[in-house]
Structure formats: structure tokens, C-alpha cells
């Protein structure tokens, strides 16, 4: 992370609700920037999660959506990486695999999965890539009462998010993970990487096994209303949990059909909220320390110090 101190945010307050709830950070000359990259980008929910967090913590920062098409991604990322007050990037579909290659350093998770959903600027100016999709998904499942340990899981999608979720599920102790994807070379490459770390528990398949306990959609299918279903919930046995990682729309066609079939459903928003603590640690998001008497006596004092 950069060592540049983060000034305290100036916030508006919602007086209608009683007076003290931070409503929005006011952007100024000292504001630190974060961007979330995607194509499309209208569905992203991270600004609605992170910007209120900045306000609650009193951090002068803002997260904005950036629509970057695949052909322009490297140009956009390289340009943003040169913005002096930009501290981090978030990445969504379809850029997670490409973004991993645009970092100077990659975490072990990124090396295994080949994808990233967050990049931060280090103190030496280099960019480190990490992927929290998997741990966020597992955290969300567990909090919702669907712990994956010992479960038989079927996962549709071997792309950027799917690869991270697959690794996290195996690390969480699933008994069996079956991965499907129409891109055979991509599927084979992912399974080979996973099998090197978790031998005997990861398999490929054209259909979801009949004894599946948790069925997961980690593909973009469902973002658009005319998308086909990634799999048919009605073909799953009673009690199978059907999970989707798509956050908007909240009730995707897959989840609607699963609910209509009497199956328990798990919404995509759980994956994002499950990542919040990881984001806070990765980007070192902490409230600034209040000023001390010594600060006020220091000539040229600019504002409260950040915690060390």
C-alpha cells in the first residue's frame, strides 16, 4: 500500500434519520480514488458497499465504476495505474483473468486460479493482484447456513470468478467438486491446476451429478434477460442449494426457477458482503486517528494522522 496519509473525509449527514448517519463523502482535492472495472458495469454493487464504508470510517476516498471493454482493458488499467491518487482497482466480468496478468505481483491464490478481482498499489509503486471471490463466496455460504465442508458441489463456470470459487471450496473441505464449462481448454487447465493442490477431489462433467448438495452458477449467464440457464434446477434432487454469483438482478432466472421448484436459493450479494472484511484488510481501510495536541502545534499541520 502507498504510505501517503489518507485525510479524513468530509461527509454529509442524513438529518431526516436522526442526524448522525454518514450519507455521502464529499469529493475534494485530497480524495483518494478506487475504480471498479467491468463490461458491462451497470450491475456492479461494490460502490454501494465501499462508499458507505469510507463514509462510516471517515476516509476521504471514493470508488467509481469504469466501463472498460476487453480490447481497451490494458490501456485503461495502465492509465489508471499512473494516476497518483489512485490506490486500488476492483475487477468484475469479464476482466478477472486479464487483470491478473496486468499486475506486477500476484498472491498465491491468483497464481493458482489465474484470476484477480482486486489490485492495490504497493509502497514501492508496484501493483499486487489478489482474488477474494472465493473466500467471499465461502463466507457468504457459511453465514447463510450452507457450510460447504463435506458437501458435494457442482460448479458451472471455469472463468475468473469460477476459478477462485473452485479453489476456495476445495480449501474449505468440500468432499467433491465437479466443474463444468463449455470452454474445454479453459476447463482442463483449471482442473489440472486445482488437482495439483487438491488431488482426487476435483472432477469435470458435462452434467451436474444427481447427488449434488450445492449447485453454483459462476458464469455470466443471467446478467441479461435473454440468457439461457447455466443448468436446470428442476433436474436437481430435493434440498439441493442453488447459488448464483450474479448480483443484479438479485433474483436471476436461475434462482427464480430453483425457488419455483422448491429448492433453497443463495443470492449473489452474499459473495460481495462476504468479501468486505478482506477488502478492509487488503486496502488497509481504517479510520484516521484523531489529532493530538502536538499535531496542532506542528507548523503546516494538514489534518488527522492515519493509524500506523
**164 near 113, Cβ under 8 Å?**
yes
- Comparing CA positions, the residue from 274, 162, 180, 154 lying closest to residue 220 is 162
**3-class SS at 279?**
helix
> CA 136, CA 49: separation in Å to the nearest integer?
14
Cis peptide before 249 (omega within 30 of 0): yes
Q: Which residues contact 136 (CB under 8 A, 6 or more apart)?
A: 271, 272, 273, 274, 275, 278
Q: Exactly one of 95, 96, 176, 267 is catalytic; which is it?
A: 96
CA distances for 200 relative to 49, 90, 187, 213, angstroms: 38, 33, 16, 18
Q: Which residues contact 101 (CB under 8 A, 6 or more apart)?
A: none
The alpha carbon of residue 15 and the mean position of all alpha carbons in its chain are separated, in whole angstroms, by 32
> CA 100, CA 239: separation in Å to the nearest integer?
37
96 is catalytic: yes
What amino acid positions are annotated as catalytic residues?
Answer: 96
Amino acid at each position: 500500500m502507498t504510505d501517503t496519509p489518507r485525510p479524513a473525509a468530509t461527509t454529509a449527514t442524513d438529518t431526516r434519520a436522526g442526524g448522525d448517519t454518514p450519507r455521502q463523502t464529499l469529493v475534494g482535492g485530497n480524495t483518494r480514488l478506487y475504480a471498479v472495472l467491468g463490461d458491462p458495469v451497470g450491475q456492479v454493487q461494490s460502490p454501494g458497499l465501499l462508499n458507505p464504508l469510507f463514509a462510516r470510517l471517515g476516509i476521504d476516498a471514493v470508488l467509481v465504476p469504469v466501463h472498460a471493454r476487453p480490447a481497451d482493458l490494458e490501456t485503461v488499467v495502465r492509465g489508471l495505474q499512473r494516476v497518483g491518487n489512485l490506490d486500488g482497482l476492483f475487477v468484475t466480468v469479464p476482466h478477472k483473468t486479464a487483470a491478473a496478468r496486468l499486475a506486477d505481483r500476484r498472491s498465491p491464490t491468483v497464481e493458482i486460479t489465474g484470476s484477480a478481482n482486486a489490485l492495490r498499489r504497493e509502497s514501492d509503486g508496484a501493483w499486487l493482484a489478489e482474488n477474494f471471490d472465493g473466500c467471499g463466496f465461502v463466507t457468504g455460504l457459511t453465514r447463510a447456513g450452507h457450510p460447504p465442508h463435506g458437501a458435494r458441489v457442482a460448479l458451472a463456470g471455469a472463468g475468473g470468478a469460477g476459478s477462485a470459487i473452485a479453489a476456495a471450496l476445495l480449501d474449505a473441505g468440500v468432499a467433491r467438486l465437479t466443474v463444468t464449462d463449455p470452454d474445454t481448454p479453459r476447463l482442463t487447465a483449471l482442473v489440472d491446476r486445482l488437482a495439483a493442490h487438491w488431488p482426487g477431489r476435483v472432477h469435470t462433467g458435462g452434467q451436474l451429478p444427481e447427488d449434488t448438495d450445492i449447485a453454483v452458477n459462476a458464469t455470466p449467464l443471467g446478467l441479461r434477460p435473454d440468457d439461457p440457464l447455466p443448468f436446470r434446477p428442476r433436474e436437481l434432487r430435493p434440498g439441493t442449494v442453488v447459488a448464483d454469483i450474479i448480483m443484479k438482478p438479485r433474483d436471476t432466472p436461475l434462482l427464480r426457477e430453483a425457488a419455483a421448484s422448491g429448492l433453497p436459493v443463495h443470492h449473489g450479494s452474499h459473495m460481495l458482503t462476504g468479501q468486505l472484511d478482506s477488502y478492509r484488510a487488503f486496502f488497509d481501510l481504517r479510520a484516521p486517528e484523531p489529532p493530538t495536541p502536538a499535531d496542532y502545534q506542528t507548523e503546516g499541520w494538514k489534518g488527522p494522522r492515519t493509524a500506523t
